[in-house]
Amino acid sequence: MSDRTVLHVKGRVLVGPEEVRDELWVVDGRISYDRPAGARDIRTVRGWALPGLVDAHCHVGLDRHGAVPQDVAEKQALTDRDAGTLLIRDAGSPSDTRWIDDRDDLPKIIRAGRHIARTRRYIRNYAWEIEPDDLVAYVAQEARRGDGWVKLVGDWIDRDLGDLSACWPRGAVEAAIAEAHRLGARVTAHCFSEDSLQDLVEAGIDCIEHATGLTEDLIPLFAERGVAIVPTLVNIATFPQLADGGEARFPRWSAHMRRLHERRYDTVRGAYDAGIPVFVGTDAGGGLAHGLAASEVAELVTAGIPPVEALAAGTWTARAWLGRPGLDEGAPADLVVYDEDPRKDVGVLAAPRRVVLNGRVVG
């Protein structure tokens, strides 16, 4: 496509779960629902159009060992893009990926800065590892560096205890979250276990990643405070393998991880039924491959979330939650076209027909 080419998307344009239009036009990279006057160089794409998928927990520029070179980060971003993921909330990375913002052919990224963890309580080379007295200062630093989000490590294995445990005292997280909010940033936290959740939610946190420790007694608190969860079920599927690897040294932790895995679907369905906002996220970029947003939507359906709501968790409602437009008049034309209606079968998401980013067909 040249810069003068007008893209005509024709078929069924899913502006929202119930709002469906017959066509849209892309002019100068932006969406219009009015046919442009005098357009001659027109390319037509037919099918079912959705806003670009959202992966609300992804790590571009990171692998299992830490930061990666730029060419590797580029491949990660391209893998996500080609799978239809056009908006990423990068939930913690030691890499500087600002160069991606200058590339019209790569997904848009909302950064949470670098993870903030307790000393020796997270994956090596990932996080700033600090003690509670420094938490406010580091949260302020990452709030200024990020794009409106900060990422804490709320719990991790305590080697002396031999199991998961909370990383931060209540007073420290209260002060840190208050500072982030003062600076205009929201706060999210990695949490596998149960015992970190109440303090974090009561301290004012905005989101919990994984949330496998969410129990029936905590669900009303999350719902009352409007705290979102990003379950990353495609990552939680690896818990049995992790448990097997650590059983000899940490049998208590291994048993705990297996229990969390066994009840993962009940946990997510219980959260959804209570009105807790649930969003799609894969945790790609650590030990997990990129391009799995469609698989995560399918996992939410397996957990018992209705297909249209699971689809919304990775498209319309996710974009609204992150403050980014969907298929709105004048918005950047970031959309994916499928052969069939993804509202009827979310499995359709795994096979995009066309990917359009900033108004250009890139896949």
Residues 179 and 233 in one domain: yes
Residues 15 and 62 in one domain: no
245 CA to centre of own chain = 27
Other Cβ atoms closer than 10 A to 273: 12
Residues 57 and 13 in one domain: no
Task: List, for residues 281-333, the tens digit of each pLDDT value.
Answer: 999 998 899 999 999 999 999 999 999 999 999 999 999 999 999 999 999 99
In a domain, 199, yes or no: yes
Residues 242 and 339 in one domain: no
Q: Say whether pLDDT at 110 is over 60.
A: yes
In a domain, 284, yes or no: yes
Question: What does the pLDDT average to over 20-35?
Answer: 96
Measuring CA to CA, how many Å separate 43 from each of 24, 25, 112, 361?
12, 10, 37, 10
Q: How many domains does the chain have?
A: 2
Tokens of 299: 């996992």
Residues 182 and 315 in one domain: yes
Q: In this structure, are strands 207-210 and 42-51 parallel, antiparallel, or unpaired?
A: unpaired
Residues 190 and 304 in one domain: yes
In a domain, 10, yes or no: yes
Angle (CA) 285-287-292 rounded to 5° is: 60
Residues 28 and 61 in one domain: no
**Nearest to 167, CA basis, from 142, 124, 135:** 135
Task: List, for residues 61-96, the tens digit of each pLDDT value.
Answer: 999 999 999 999 999 999 999 999 999 999 999 999
Residues 199 and 85 in one domain: yes
Domain that holds residue 225: 53-322
Residue that the structure tokens 């097997």 belong to? 244
Residues 242 and 261 in one domain: yes
CATH number for position 40: 2.30.40.10
Q: Is 63 exposed, middle or buried (0-12, 13-18, 19+ CB in 10 A)?
A: middle
Q: In this structure, are strands 149-153 and 186-191 parallel, antiparallel, or unpaired?
A: parallel
CATH number for position 279: 3.20.20.140
In a domain, 92, yes or no: yes
In a domain, 1, yes or no: no
Residues 310 and 338 in one domain: no
pLDDT for position 228: 98
Residues 206 and 340 in one domain: no
In a domain, 355, yes or no: yes
- 0.75 exceeded by pTM: yes
Distance between CA atoms of 163 and 259, rounded to whole angstroms?
A: 13
**22 pLDDT tier (thresholds 50, 70, 90):** very high
Q: What are phi and psi of 4, to 5 degrees?
A: -95, -5
Residues 24 and 36 in one domain: yes
